[in-house]
Each structure stands twice: as structure tokens, then as C-alpha cells.
Amino acid sequence: MVVCLLIAVPVTLPPREVPTSVVVVVVVLLYRTTMEASVDGATAEANMIAMQLRKHQADFSKRLIGIDKQKEKPGEVSSVGRLLHQSVGRGHNAPLYGRLVPEEQLEQITSSLAAAPGSLGTPAADIQAMQARIPQHFRDPATAPLHKLSVDLIKTYKHINEVYYAKKKRRAQQTQGEDSSHKKERKLYNDGYDDDNHDYIIKTGEKFLDRYEIDSLIGKGSFGQVVKAFDHDEQCHVAIKIIKNKKPFLNQAQIEVKLLEMMNDADADNKFYIVKLKRHFMWRNHLCLVFELLSYNLYDLLRNTNFRGVSLNLTRKFAQQLCTALLFLSTPKLSIIHCDLKPENILLCNPKRSAIKIVDFGSSCQLGQRIYQYIQSRFYRSPEVLLGIPYDLAIDMWSLGCILVEMHTGEPLFSGANEVDQMNKIVEVLGMPPRHILDQAHKARKYFDKLPDGSYVLKKPKDGKRYRNPGSRRLSDIVGVEAGGPGGRRAGEPGHSVSDYLKFRDLVLRMLDYDPKTRVTPFYALQHNFFKRTADEATNTSHSASPALEPPLPQPSSSGGQGEKQALPPPFNALDLKIATAQGTFRP
């Protein structure tokens, strides 16, 4: 019948005269009526089953009581009776399930039970008491899914929206609460003074030792942080390096302090371009190093040129100061290897002047006390470090050669994405390393394959990347010896002649010698013709103030870039030779 009505409604009424919503409502109402009828039928059937179960339970209980009465003694309560009494008294434990019988059917069910043969004649009050213990599971018709998805569909959607936005708001509040609780949790480190990276929490205006007032954060690194502060005692600004509150960083920083104190003691006149350590102290479990405040670094300088590089004249000034600094570090009393020379660790003393100083000796060590195998930033990493050969002071000279080219061209000379890529880029410019270097390198097979005749060839890249032939990317083309500088940008400028570029190229190639034993030393680098453009400028070199003189250097071994090197200039001029002989410092 219901099906017929459902089919008949859209047939008998024209579609254009009856709105679609009316048809939907009719269908929904018919479906609801059918479902309610089915539910009522199921309820009645369930009640009948429940009555039959109670009847059988009553008969069974009656038989048990009769049997038990035959066995009990006079004046004694039967065990079955006690059990039934306990079950009624502790009805909350009784396993009674089912649905509540409607009130209008209660009298009829009671009378039928009383009239049934063998009935126990259970009073209606007892039935109501037992049914009261049965959980009620009646559902309000207004909450039925069908009702919600039909008649109250719009209300349902509104409710869903309200719930969604309420949850979203609650989630945002919980997130804020978690953030605030996380911040509170972070303050638990070092009694609330450190964050979860073990860095000191910087607060502007805070005073260290009632002397150094924190101004701002200058930079951060793996070691910790550097802040700008005002020294109220000396009435000047300083830079404070705050080391992380972790034992490995503290241990390395203590080595840095020791080396800085050695250098500062040896450079009392402050003329060897090394940053000055003023003092150090512990502050809330952090080692703090107080330095003179310098300006921005050479990488920032390159960025200000849009990475087009600085002039060859300014590059020469930087090179002369850096060679002097390396000469100072190489003195026997110090023998310090910086191990991380790069533009970021070379700072201008004044933004309007060319004077510079080397900073960050956090990775440094003394010769013979090498601590780490993985040193130097990749772009400036020497071949001996890449190949796993024992290194010495010469690795800093390699880094300097890379830095000088970058300062003039604006781009890194060897910009490898990884160590294999780095070695391939070096070979593109300098050719293959000498066989005797690779024979002693335990990491040579990482980059090269050894042929049956004992020679070496580069491994084929696993990523399919292609490289130029060894030595085919000439340094002359990179610096623009004949093109007027990198990209021809310096053509016609004073101090950028072909002769100037030839001297610059030759000095860099000597700094980039594969063999650290024949790589140019700081002393002989300062004697190079690149620093002697005129007789007047020759007197401005720093070798006369150097702590020691070196014997003549043998010619470099043949390596990459063959044919681009000039003969070494004399180690020093006649006047220097006369002075050195008189002082007894010349060693033939």
C-alpha cells in the first residue's frame, strides 16, 4: 500500500503544479509512518516475549521452592528463599534487560499473569519495582535521524556549523594554552634562564655582572649567540659571545679562550689583524667572551655589491692583511690553525675603512693537537681534509686563495653541494691531484678510481651530473685576465690591467697548490709581486714587521693549472737580507 502511494503521488499530480518540496515531505511522512508502525509492532512482540519469559521463570522458581521446602527443617529459611530475597533487595545487580511496558498495558498483563495456571500471583507493585530497575532507552522522535535529515534538515545543518566553529575555537584556545605551557616548560631549563636549545634567553636591558647592558642580538650559531652590549665601566660597546650551556660547547670555548689569550699576549700592539678578547666570565652557567665590537663581515660586503665583487685594489688590501695574520699564527710560539677561514669570519673594523680582523677561533687548534677531522666550511675546504690526509697550517692558505677569488668575482670559486661535488669542481679548475697525494689518501676511493697502471681517474657521478674535463675551467677565465676582469666589468679601470691580473692569478694558484708541502706560505705570499705594484707600495708590505724570517722556498711541485705559474720572486730584498744577516735571523 505504501509503495503504491509513493508511486501514485508523482503520477497523479502534474509536476509543474506541485513543488518538489511537497513531494519530498509526503514521501518522508509516509516513510516515517511506516517506520513508527514497525517500531510499535516490534515493541508489542518484545513485550509478549518478556511476559512468556517471566512466566517460565515463575514456574521454575515455584518448583525450586517446593523442592526446597521438603528438605528444610522447621523454623529455618530455605536457601532458595534467601537467594530470592537477596536478589530483590540488591536489584541493582540483577541482570534485567528489556523495554518498559506502557502503563495502559500494565493492568492487562498483570491480570493475565494472575489468571494463568501456576502463577505466583505477583502483585503489580512488584512488577513496577522490577521494571523500574530496567534502563529506559526510548528515543525522542525529534532526535531520530530521519527527522533530523528531513523535517529539521536546515536546523541540522545550522547545528553542524555551530559544533564545527565551536570545536575550531576550542582547538585554537587549546593551542594557545599549549604554546603558553610550552613556554613555561622551556623556562624550566637552567632555572628558567635557557631555552630548549640550551641558549641563554636574551633580554634587552639586562645587565651582566652589573656592567654589561644587553642591547641587541647580533647573530646565532651552533656555538651559541653573539649580542651587542654596552660596557658601563669603559663606556663603550662590546660584543659578547654567549656559549651554549652544554659541556661539549663549553669545552671547545675554553680552548678558544686559551688560544685567544695566547694570541693577544703575543700581539700586544694589536697589529696582526686578530680580534681582541677583552675578558671572559661565567654568567648563569654560560661562558661569556667579551670582544671588541667590529663591523660587518666580508660576505655582507659582497652582498652589498649584489655579488659582483670588490675591486682588485681592495682585494689586494684584504689579501695583504690576511697573509700577515696567517704569518703571525704560523710563528713557532703559536702554530695555530684557524680551521674555518671564510668571508663570514673576517670582519671590517670600520664600515668605511678596509682594515679587517679574523674572528671565530671556535674550531681552531694548535699544530700537533688536531681535534677534529671534519673541519673547514665546504667551499673553502682543502684537498688534504677532503682526502683524509693529516693537515697542518697550510689548510688556511688554501681557504685564503678561495676567499680572494670570491671577493673579486663575487662568487665562490668551488661551490660544491657535497664533498664529491666539491672535489670535482676543484679538479675542473686545477686538474687531477698528483699521484703521490692520492696514494697516501685513505679517502681517495671516495672520489677516484685507480687504474691498473697506478694512475687515477674521477669516479662517474652516481647522480648523472656532468663535469668539465680536468683543468679545462681555467682560473684565467674565471678572474678575467684578458677580458677586463670577471665578466669584463673592470675593463679600463685603473689597477685592473692584464699585468695586475696575471700577478693575482699566479698568487692564487700558489695558494691552491694540491701539495701542502709546496703550497706558498704566508711569508712568501707577502713577497709576491702582486703586493709590489710600485716601489712606494713595496715599502708598505708587512713582512718587515713579521716575527720571523723563512729560508728560500723550493719550487712548487707540478700540479693542476700547469703553465699558469710564474717563477717565485726573491724571498726578500737586499735591505731585508742585510738586516736579517746582522740580526742573525737569516737561515740559508
Q: What does the H/E/C string look like for 6-35?
A: HHHHHHHCCCCCCCHHHHHHHHHHHHHHHH
For the segment 81-103, what is each residue's pLDDT rounded down to a tens digit? 554 444 444 444 444 444 455 55
Q: Which residue has the cell 632555572?
A: 191
Give me the residues of the chain with pLDDT under 50, please. Answer: 1-18, 20-28, 30, 39, 42, 80, 83-99, 118-121, 183-184, 186, 534-563, 565-588
Q: Burial level of 464, CB count in 10 A (0-12/13-18/19+)?
A: exposed
For the segment 510-557, what is each residue's pLDDT rounded down to a tens digit? 999 999 999 999 999 999 999 986 434 444 433 333 333 333 433 434
Cell numbers standing for residue 11:
503520477
Q: What is the CA radius of gyration of the chain?
A: 46
Do residues 298 and 275 make contact, with C-beta atoms less than 8 angstroms apart? no
- Overall size of the chain counted in residues: 588
Q: Under CATH, what is the fold of the domain 318-583? A: Transferase(Phosphotransferase); domain 1 (1.10.510)
Instruction: Please give the positions annotated as active site.
Output: 340
Q: How far apart are the C-alpha atoms of 265 and 269, rounded to whole Å?
A: 9
Q: Which segments of 235-280 does DSSP mark as H helices, in order?
A: 247-266
Cα angle at 302 between 300 and 307, to 5 degrees?
130
Which residues does 394 contact at the CB level (< 8 Å), separation at least 6? 382, 384, 516, 517, 519, 521
Which residue spans of the chain are classified as CATH 1.10.510.10?
318-583
Which one-letter amino acid corresponds to residue 14?
A: P
Cell numbers standing for residue 480:
678575467
Which one-letter amino acid corresponds to residue 112?
A: S
Cell numbers standing for residue 141:
522522535
Cα angle at 180 between 175 and 186, to 5 degrees?
120
pLDDT at residue 338 in the model: 97
Cell numbers standing for residue 179:
604554546
Question: Residues marked as binding for ATP?
Answer: 241
Cell numbers standing for residue 116:
494463568
Q: How far apart are the C-alpha atoms of 287 and 226, rounded to whole Å?
A: 12
Q: At what angle do helices 312-329 and 394-409 cross, to 10 degrees?
A: 170
Stated pTM of the model: 0.63
For the segment 267-303, what is each residue's pLDDT rounded down to a tens digit? 999 999 999 999 999 999 999 999 999 999 999 999 9
Which residue spans of the chain are classified as CATH 3.30.200.20?
193-293
pLDDT at residue 163 in the model: 83
DSSP E strands in 140-232: the ranges are 207-208, 212-220, 224-231
Judged by DSSP in three states, 108 sits in helix
Report in angstroms the alpha-carbon separations of 55 from 104, 169, 364. 20, 57, 97
Residue 559 main-chain phi, psi, to 5 deg: -145, -155
Cell numbers standing for residue 468:
668539465
Domain 193-293 class, CATH top level: alpha beta
Question: Residues marked as binding?
Answer: 241
